Amino acid sequence: MSTNSTPANEIPIPGVPGVEPPALAEPTEPHEPLPPKPDQDAPETVTPTGVPTGAQKSLHSQSGSWLTTAQGARLYETDHSLKAGARGPSLLQDHHLREKIMHFDHERIPERVVHARGAGAHGTFVANGAAAGVTKAGFLASGVETPVFVRFSTVVGSRGSADTVRDTRGFATKFYTDEGTFDLVGNNIPVFFIQDGIKFPDVIHAAKPHPDREIPQAQSAHDTFWDFVSLHTEAQAHTMWFMADRGIPRSYRTMEGFGVHTFRLQNAAGETTLVKFHWKPKQGVHSLVWEEALMINGTDPDFHRRDLADAIEAGAFPEWELGIQTFPDTPDETFEGIDLLDPTKIVPEELAPVQVVGTMTLNANPTNFFAETEQVAFHPGHLVPGIDVTNDALLQARLFSYLDTQLTRLGGPNFAQIPINRPHAPVNDMFRDGFHQMAVHAGAAPYRPNSIDGGCPFLAGEDMSAYIEVPQELPASAKKREKPASFDDHFSQARLFYLSLAPVEQEHVAQAYTFELGKCYEENIRKRQLQALANIDADLCAKVAAGLGLEAPAPTVELGDPEPSAALSQLRGSWPLAGRTVGIIADEYSDQDALATAREAIHAGGMVPLIIAPHGGKLPGGLPVQRTYLTARSVEFDAVVVAGSAKPAPDASPGLDAKAGDPSGYPGVDPRVTLLLAEAYRHCKPIGGWDSAGQALAAASVPEDAAGVVLGSGPQVLERMAELLSKHRVWERFPAGAEQGTLR
């Protein structure tokens, strides 16, 4: 044993992110870049032809104390884009915005810089006509059916990362309308981290793996992320959303979508309305519990993309209702005191109800993942007549960034000719040549005006569905880098969201913050984020501080008392059962007729029944087995039914399967079934059974009289379990579940 007497607090624990500990406050005294950490090295300095130069390795690195352009010009500001007034549009002449975004867009090839890991599906959208009064967009007219392609994604992780990480999810929809392509490029969270697109490279750089070690992958639980959001506090509202259960969706099929920004609609009479877009899943909004997410990342890192593809293949087509919140298009572009150009803010549905304007159904999987899901190119500037953008500074930067990104990812300017991106409307754009030109253009005059090609193509008027930007008067202003004063409120909406959650959801939020901040090496970063939490909710801050072993600070802003919004909680109401997965534990001792009846009843209810048996193949009654005790895990199922004896299978041996445990612990039940039932119970899923199910429940220490446990005859059990499944989970089993109907 070592006799080293080094004090415990001086032991070099791995994981320190930088060579010096960060200060609590943001550093303001200029100095040269810090040197590398002791464990880091750099390539030798050699010429392009491999001749050593003898120069210091540090010459590979950045130099100087000041932030500059790529050409070395010092910058005085990098938080706000150059605009025509504080509330005006971003200016094309903003060379710093263009350079910063351009370089960020081309950092990685060919993988997307963000939203790299995704899953896609084809479908249709049918409008109900409710939007006809506010927009002339043809695809929103009553009864019009429009083909769509949707891509869901995580944001931070690489293409090879896992699905069920805590992260924001992308929800991008391409409408192939007969007036051109419309892309609604949104997320599953209605607010974003930043208010101005010039900060997008910063937030993504902070969230991505540390550049020295490329870890952690697809995680926000690290120093650089929390360093940024604790300093740039406009990120607190978004952070609160994905620290809640929304950050780990149960399925893409049970995930809301939001356009995030405020858009401007124009109707046939020329009248304008400001709107926010919402996707509402017909199956409700549901999430995983933390332990489920951890298990899935190990057992099935493709869980979300598999779930989407399997549901479509099984005929349980996911459906969403598209809704809009509408607001008067007033000069100040605010509603009930909420700045509609601030993408870190929502308008509670109690103030502006969501009106359903159509329904989307996803009914077909891609034929080729690369050709479709990977090559699909979305852009918020893909608009159709009747839909226009606003001067939201984040949206303005996205209008440049998305188009620029495609040039690198898809090899040039002709990405619209890739099959998945081709418009379903005639295209005569006069663009020619370029990389990957797949069209064979005729004619000799790709310019206008021309007479050689008979004057074609011609300009269309508004009466011919031409896209005409909504005319908007701009006030007299000076070009400057600043933001409106209304953007300074960084905490009230995070507080609104937290207070709108049920107690069990609030407990999950506290646990998430405690886990994430507990993964940070630097104590000052934890303290800084605790201060932000104190400015949101004292109780939340106290819980997280206790978990971190730190003192909870007092708030530095006055805490408001907002009216909670019921729409922000996932626990209220009941939802259709379509697409829910029910695991049926069965074996050769099961009543095969009752098993067949139960399987048919589950399928008739729109759910997916999967038989779990000791072995593959078929059971004596001829029913096929989809999972075995070896291959099944509780996280795959929304509910579990025990319809067999669950006796130990021949392969129930610790030497063959580490999760089997010791069969002698309960000799009458296979230990893998015991584990599955114990997990399902712990994760608050409905459990039912008949015949000898009680023995299996006893082996798993599941009380027969516990909430959400149903024993009896087959039909009675399934009827009661359907009712439980409509609530998604048996919330009463969570410690705070008894209060789940109460808002603070």
Work out the number of other CB atoms within 10 angstroms of the CB of residue 58: 13
CA angle, corner 93, sides to 91 and 95, nearest 5?
115
605: which 2 tokens?
A: 């209810």
Whole-angstrom distance, CA of residue 479 vs CA of residue 459: 33
The answer to whether the Cα torsion of 479, 482, 485, 490 is positive or negative is positive
> CB of 672 within 8 A of CB of 626?
no
CA angle, corner 157, sides to 253 and 216, nearest 5?
130
Active site residues: 115, 187
Among 87, 204, 100, which residue's Cα sits nearest to residue 156? 204
> CB of 223 within 8 A of CB of 155?
no
Whole-angstrom distance, CA of residue 275 vs CA of residue 328: 9
SS (H, E, C) 182-193: EEEEEECCCCCC
345: which 2 tokens?
A: 């803010």
Find tokens 């608050």 and name the residue.
Answer: 684
314: which 2 tokens?
A: 């099984």
Task: Annotate 679-734 with DSSP letters as a single string.
Answer: HHHHTT--EEE-TTHHHHHHHTT--TTSTTEEESSHHHHHHHHHHHHTTSS-GGGS
> CB of 582 within 8 A of CB of 640?
yes
User: If phi over 0 gives left and psi between -120 and 50 gives alpha, with beta otherwise, what is residue 434?
Assistant: left
State how far the alpha carbon of 258 is from the alpha carbons of 171, 496, 506, in Å. Answer: 8, 18, 22
CA angle, corner 23, sides to 21 and 25, nearest 5?
160
Among 313, 316, 250, which residue's Cα sits nearest to residue 284? 250
State how far the alpha carbon of 369 is from the alpha carbons of 203, 318, 376, 496, in Å. Answer: 29, 19, 10, 40
317: which 2 tokens?
A: 């087509």
Strands 272-281 and 257-258: antiparallel
> CB of 420 within 8 A of CB of 117?
no
Whole-angstrom distance, CA of residue 639 vs CA of residue 580: 8
Give the total residue count for the chain.
744
Q: For the chain, how far is it from start to end, CA to CA, in angstroms?
A: 55
